[in-house]
Every structure is written in structure tokens, then in C-alpha cells.
Amino acid sequence: MALSEKEIKRLREKIDQIDNQLLDLLNERAKLVLKVGRIKQAGNYDFHMLDREYEIYERLVKRNSGPFPTEAIRDVFREILSASLSMEKLLKVVYLGPEATFCHIASIQQFGHSAGFFQAKGIADIFDEVERGRMDYGVVPIENSTEGVINLTLDLFIDSSLKICAEVLLQVSHHLLSRSGKIEDIKRIYSHPQAIAQCSNWLSKNLPHVQLKEVFSTAKAAQHAAEDENVAAIASEFAAKYYRLKAVRKSIEDIAQNFTKFWVIGTKSPGRTGDDKTSIMCSLKDGVGALYHMLEPFAGQGINLTKIESRPFKKRPWEYVFFIDIEGHAQDKNVSAALEEMKEKTQFLKVLGSYPRSKLSEKTILQIPLAEDSRK
């Protein structure tokens, strides 16, 4: 055996030893998790705390000295935390189905593969499932960087008692998928209206005469493509893997930097993490300079507004509801003071939730390479 082969064998044996140690440590960790679970159950504590997870991720990222990639730490420990939590209780998460939608991907990115995932047919159904206590969390789309906000999601918060618990940002890349992977086989293309709009330039240039069919999700489009060899779908890599499709063309979106934001909704917002956002909704008192006076407390307290949207107040014709995102947590002194002052200048004010600012990882375990022939 050559010297280099002996060295590789020796190093691999050391790696195996470390893997064994890691497994032993994971089991030691699991025993402690079970003890914590029994204490929480006896004391009627919340069994899942998003701010605790955020604290773990941030501490480990700061501790990492390399060469293990920092961007992979959250992915690895998300699965450890997800598996650990499942030993205490199955975390039930409802998302906009069917399987392999971007909403499904966002749910896994937030909660890991060991959570229990359940489909809903509509965004209103997600709110209803969580409000009735049948699900612990829901994941709903709120905004796309190129197509704007999802108005239905905003409207549902007007009457809902649910809180925003977290935000998830996904970098969305659309792929043209089919059973054969051959462009000449395509007679029809299915996808969600937004996905079609986001790929309109590529489609008009490369497949101008192919019929476009709108469906309610990119995953549903992938289902159609899996059933008919003359149908292609505009969908994600995750959908390609899930429905055993091949890539006709990858990344056909017109704008490369395309992101979709999702909100995790539940009954209780997490505590302060030090890097938080707060979302509120309010309506104005009628009068000159009403909008200016409503926003004035944020300037006075040195608070940055990151977003403001207006929607018609359906219960009161010609009145509007404003949705505002600000930096900071509702428990921060300056944010709390600004909100108190703001109450006097609005007809109503509702805090939708305070939650950790999303950390978008460029690399995620959900970015699965497309197989050359996944149907074999």
C-alpha cells in the first residue's frame, strides 16, 4: 500500500472515531432534552420556544472558529433541534399545499424534517387550523421581492388573534421541469401565475407558442408534469426531486435576485433576541397631517421603519388599514414608548408580533441537486 493510501486510511479512521463521539454526544444531549421535557410537562411550560432556538444558533455561529462553514451551522443544528423536539412532542405545522410548494420548503427550513407537516388548501385555512389549536404553527406567504405583498395574508390579520412568530426568507429559483427533460416534448406549461410572470421574458423568447396554464401552486404544476410527458412545470428543485422530474432548463426567472418572505404564525410571539422586527397594523384618525402625526413617535424614539403598506378597511368604506414593520422588539423601551404614544393618534392599533430578523443562508440542505434521471 502506498504511503498516501496509508495516510488516507489513517485519517478516515480518525474521522470515524470522531463520528462515533458525535453520535454519543447527540445521545447524551437527547437524554437531557427528555429531562427538560418532563419538567416542562409537569410545570405546564411552553414545549417549543423559537427565541431559545435563535439563541442556540447565534451562540454557535459566534463560537465557530472554522474551518467548518458558518453558513452550515444553522442547517445542521436545525435538524438536531427538530429531532430532539420530536422526542418530547410532535410539532404540528400547517402550510399551503400540496407537497413541495415553496411554502412547504419554508416550513422545513424553519422547523426541520422531524416536525409534522400538514397541508392546507388556502391561506385562510392555515389561520383557522392554528386558531382552533389543531396546529402549533402555520406558515403563510407574505411578500415576493418582485411581485409585492400577498394581500390576503394581510387582510386575515385584521380579525385574527394570531401572532407573527418568525419570518423565513427563501431565494426563489424557478426551473422548467418535465418527465423527459427534453424541450421538444413540451406542448403545455403549468405553473402558479406569479411564477409564470417571473419567467415571462424567458418563456416568450424560448417557447413563445407553447400554451401556458395557471394552477394554484408550482407543486401542483409539478404534479401535472409527472402525469403527462407533454407537460412541463415551472417549479423548484425540491419539486423536481419530490415528483421525479428532470430539468429542461434551470433558473429561468427573469430577475436572479428573487426572494419570497413567509411568516410563521402562532398564538404567542417569542421574546427579545436583540435582533428583532415588529409588525403592527393601525388605522388613522381623520384630520390634516394624520399620517405624519401617526409616524412621528417612531422618529422621536429613533426607530427605523422598514416597511409600510395600506389596505382598504373592508368594514369601513373609504378607510384604510396600515401595516408597518419596524426594527426592534415590542418589549424594547423605545419601541414600547413609541407604541404607547401612537395609540393616542390612531383609531386602533394592533401589534401583530415581534420576531427575530430572518437570516437567509445562501446554502441550505433543501437545495437538492437535480438528478440526471431521477425516474430510474
User: Is the pLDDT reported for residue 55 higher than 80?
Assistant: yes
Give the whole-angstrom CA distance, residue 117 versus residue 242: 15
The CATH number linked to 322 is 3.30.70.260
What's the mean pLDDT in 223-245?
A: 94
Give the whole-angstrom CA distance, residue 356 versus residue 265: 13
Q: What percent of the chain has pLDDT over 90?
A: 70
Residue 304's pLDDT is what?
95
| Residue 331 belongs to a domain | yes
The answer to whether residues 239 and 284 belong to one domain is no
Residue 352's pLDDT is what?
96
| Closest by CA position to 341, among listed 268, 280, 265 | 280
Residue 360's pLDDT is what?
60
Confidence of residue 372 (pLDDT cuts 50, 70, 90): very low
The answer to whether residues 232 and 289 belong to one domain is no
SS3 track for the chain: CCHHHHHHHHHHHHHHHHHHHHHHHHHHHHHHHHHHHHHHHHHCCCCCCHHHHHHHHHHHHHHCCCCCCHHHHHHHHHHHHHHHHHHHCCCEEEEECCCCCHHHHHHHHHHCCCCEEEEECCHHHHHHHHHCCCCCEEEEEEEECCCEECHHHHHHHHHCCCEEEEEEEEECCCEEEECCCCHHHCCEEEECHHHHHHCHHHHHHHCCCCEEEECCCHHHHHHHHHHCCCEEEEECHHHHHHHCCEEEECCCCCCCCCEEEEEEEECCCCCCCCCEEEEEEEEECCCCCHHHHHHHHHHHCCCCEEEEEEEECCCCCCCEEEEEEEECCCCCHHHHHHHHHHHCCEEEEEEEEEEECCCCCCCCCCCCCCCCCCCC
The answer to whether residues 322 and 282 belong to one domain is yes
| Residue 245 belongs to a domain | yes
The answer to whether residues 250 and 182 belong to one domain is yes
Task: Return the active site residues.
Answer: 260, 262
The answer to whether residues 233 and 283 belong to one domain is no
Residue 1's pLDDT is what?
60
| Residue 244 belongs to a domain | yes
pLDDT tens by residue, 149-200: 888 999 999 889 999 999 999 888 999 999 999 999 999 999 999 899 999 9
| Residue 343 belongs to a domain | yes
The answer to whether residues 305 and 242 belong to one domain is no
| Residue 200 belongs to a domain | yes
The answer to whether residues 253 and 297 belong to one domain is no
What's the mean pLDDT in 68-81?
A: 93
The CATH number linked to 207 is 3.40.190.10
The answer to whether residues 281 and 220 belong to one domain is no
The answer to whether residues 249 and 285 belong to one domain is no
Domain membership of residue 213 as a residue range: 175-257
Q: Are 92 and 136 in contact (CB under 8 A)?
A: yes
| Residue 17 belongs to a domain | no
Q: Are 18 and 68 in contact (CB under 8 A)?
A: no
Residue 44's pLDDT is what?
81
| Residue 52 belongs to a domain | no
CB atoms < 10 A from the CB of 349, how many? 18
User: Is the pLDDT reported for residue 286 higher than 80?
Assistant: no
What's the mean pLDDT in 280-286?
A: 86
Q: Helices 50-63 and 73-88 sit at what angle, rounded to 10 degrees?
A: 140
The answer to whether residues 238 and 300 belong to one domain is no
Assign residue 9 a region: left if phi > 0, alpha if psi is -120 to 50, beta otherwise?
A: alpha
Number of independent structural domains in the chain? 2
Report the DSSP beta bridge partners of residue 220. Answer: none
The answer to whether residues 232 and 294 belong to one domain is no
Confidence of residue 108 (pLDDT cuts 50, 70, 90): very high
pTM of the model: 0.87
The residue from 257, 290, 307 where one domain ends is 257
pLDDT, averaged across the chain: 89
Give the whole-angstrom CA distance, residue 166 versus residue 355: 5
The answer to whether residues 231 and 303 belong to one domain is no
| Residue 80 belongs to a domain | no
CB atoms < 10 A from the CB of 343, how many? 11
List the strands of the sheet with 305-312, edge to edge.
305-312, 320-327, 276-284, 346-356
pLDDT tens by residue, 310-365: 888 776 776 789 999 999 999 999 999 999 999 988 888 999 999 998 866 433 43
CB atoms < 10 A from the CB of 248, how many? 23
Strands 188-191 and 231-235: what pairing? parallel
